[in-house]
A and B are shown apart, each in its own frame.
Chain A
Amino acid sequence: MKVITTPLSNTDVEDLRAGDTVKITGIIYTARDAAHKRLVDLLDQGKELPFDINGQLIYYVGPSPAKPGQAIGSAGPTTSYRMDPYAPRLIEAGQKGMIGKGEMGPEVVEAMKKHKAVYFAAVGGAGALIAKSVKKSEIVAYEDLGAEAVRRLEVEDFPAVVVQDAHGGNFYVEGKENFVKSLS
């Protein structure tokens, strides 16, 4: 188990290997499909992003509404490949990692290797459990998008697994291969 604190440096990223179990503490930002489109449109226009992306992690999540007394509603990861068209641009702009579920494409892996970034999987469908590690949530941009707005989350011991690392390691492939080998 590795304990990591955001924001991440290049060295932090390079120390992480596919298969590592981690707990994340610090600030993370949320964005999914619609917000990514707007963020990349801003970059295309040479404009500033609504938050400083340097060293940051983006969590692919659209939480359910918080009940009174909750910091956030259920907040598990959404499927990451839908962000493949956008992630390389944001990595180039300074993003150091993604949190989601499911494999990310080769264009993202290339950007991760070139600019040093890491991809973590959170447990899909464990939104009620993951919400316990979110201590604070505030909308920083695109409130009109509802669940898809960009949020700044303060997290403590957020559970995740490194699935694709900056060295080309891919735990989705390795984990499956290890199991298949164990059958023979």
Chain B
Amino acid sequence: MRELNVQEITAAVKKMCMASNYDLGEDVYNCLKESRKTETTEVGKNILDMIIENADISKNEQVPICQDTGFAVVFIELGQEVHLIGGSLNDAINEGVRQGYIEGYLRKSIVEDPLRRVNTKDNTPAVIYIDMLPGDSFKITFVPKGGGAENMSEVKMMKPADGEDGVKDFIIDRVTRSGANPCPPIVVGVGIGGTFEKSAMLAKKALLREIGERHTDPYYAGMERELLERINRIGIGPQGLGGKTTALDVFIEAHPCHIASLPVAVNINCHAARHKSATL
């Protein structure tokens, strides 16, 4: 049994709140640069130039890439041999969010009730998911998730008869209907299978992959490639103004499901596809 003081978790979360919002990951940055080379429309090229310049400014000046510094979504991989001491895990994470968002000049975008809508003023509470694993490791991933792209996401309970083609068409349709709203070029996370909520979780988790990282199953890897190609023929382009670069990547996660069901979830991320991880 390894002991881990939750104060370390607070400190790590605080740091990740700022780092993820200031520094666009190299994978996304490099993909934007590559996309600039292959973009065919003038307006698309101009927009990509501005997005790349923006990432340079935010990194150099340590300011938010986007004013929407997101809902604090936290994934924990907790080794079952780890004994957390010094307080509650949830409280420690929220304290890290509070400190990170206040001290890092990040926007507070959370209201304490969805209908009465009063801002909590410190961006808490975080949405926290805990996976229990064997061993004594502790990994934390911080994902600031913007509202605009989240709003373009959807879960659909499809029929098993809809099959692979039906699933692909739903994904293409979801992206097409989103248009300029989720700040393209987007990253598309897809969850197929499981239950209603499991598919949504898979779609969210799919977004944690690095740009270019294909599914380990060649079947799904092929589907990811095909979908990316189809999406980049729709024509939405950077910021919806027309062009090739509608998506930077498509990630699929699949899970066993009920004989009666075919749940499919599409979770969309904007081009500021931010996330940071730490192992404690």
Contacts and interface: CB of A to CB of B under 8 A. Distances in A.
Interface of A: 19, 21, 34, 61-67, 70, 73-76, 78-79, 81, 101-103, 121, 123-129, 131-132, 145-147, 159, 161, 163, 171-172, 174-180, 182-183
B64 A73 contact: yes
A171 B61 CA distance: 33
Interface of A is mostly: mixed
A94 B145 CA distance: 36
B179 A103 contact: yes
Interface residues of B, number: 48
A96 to B, nearest CB: 22
A131 to B, nearest CB: 8
B64 A127 contact: yes
Interface of B: 40-41, 43, 46-47, 50-51, 53-54, 57-58, 61, 63-69, 105-109, 117, 119, 121, 147-148, 151, 179-181, 183, 233-237, 239-244, 270-272
Contacts of B57: 128-129, 132
The 9 A-B pairs with the shortest beta carbon distances in the complex, nearest first, are A175-B242, A124-B183, A179-B235, A102-B181, A126-B54, A176-B235, A129-B54, A64-B107, A74-B64
B235 A177 contact: yes
B91 to A, nearest CB: 24
Contacts, number: 163
Contact of A172 (B66, B119, B179, B234): B179
Contact of A102 (B54, B63, B69, B240): B240
A19 B41 CA distance: 12
Given A65-B107, A124-B270, A159-B50, A174 B67 contact: no
29 contacts: A21-B46, A62-B109, A64-B64, A65-B107, A73-B107, A74-B66, A78-B147, A78-B148, A81-B181, A101-B183, A102-B179, A102-B180, A103-B240, A124-B148, A125-B65, A125-B271, A126-B51, A126-B53, A126-B54, A146-B121, A147-B109, A175-B43, A176-B237, A177-B242, A178-B235, A179-B41, A179-B243, A179-B244, A180-B234
Contacts of B63: 64, 67, 70, 73-74, 128, 131
Question: Which of A34, A65, A78, A183 has the most chain B CB within a 10 Å cutoff?
Answer: A65
A146 B68 CA distance: 13
Contacts of A129: 50, 53-54, 57
Contacts of B240: 101-103, 121, 172, 175-176
A21 B102 CA distance: 36
Nearest to B233: A183
B275 to A, nearest CB: 15
Nearest to A159: B50
